[in-house]
Amino acid sequence: MLLEDDIRLVAGLHGWKVALHRLHPENPVYSVIIYWRRRRHCLGLLSELQRLSIEDLTVLILSSTQRQE
């Protein structure tokens, strides 16, 4: 299971910063948003991303950000 720090590390290696966005004040469900300058992309729910391997997370970040360019 990936930790939040693992997600930050992998995103950081590719030039992105990570922000967690709480979807509802009373519910501890977070979405993971990567950003750099004015570009933003929501990767998905933290609980879902934590189930990925480092390799799968890397592929997700690279494929998601390449579609935006």
3-state secondary structure 5-59: HHHHHHHHHCCCEEEEEEEECCEEEEEEEEEECCEEEEEEEHHHHCCCCHHHHHH
Quick: pLDDT tens for 7-54.
Answer: 999 999 999 999 999 998 888 899 999 998 888 999 999 999 999 999
Q: Are 54 and 10 in contact (CB under 8 A)?
A: yes
Q: What is the pLDDT at residue 67?
A: 60
Q: Range of 52's domain?
A: 4-68
Mean pLDDT of 43-68: 90
- The model's pTM is 0.83
How many distinct structural domains can be found in the chain? 1
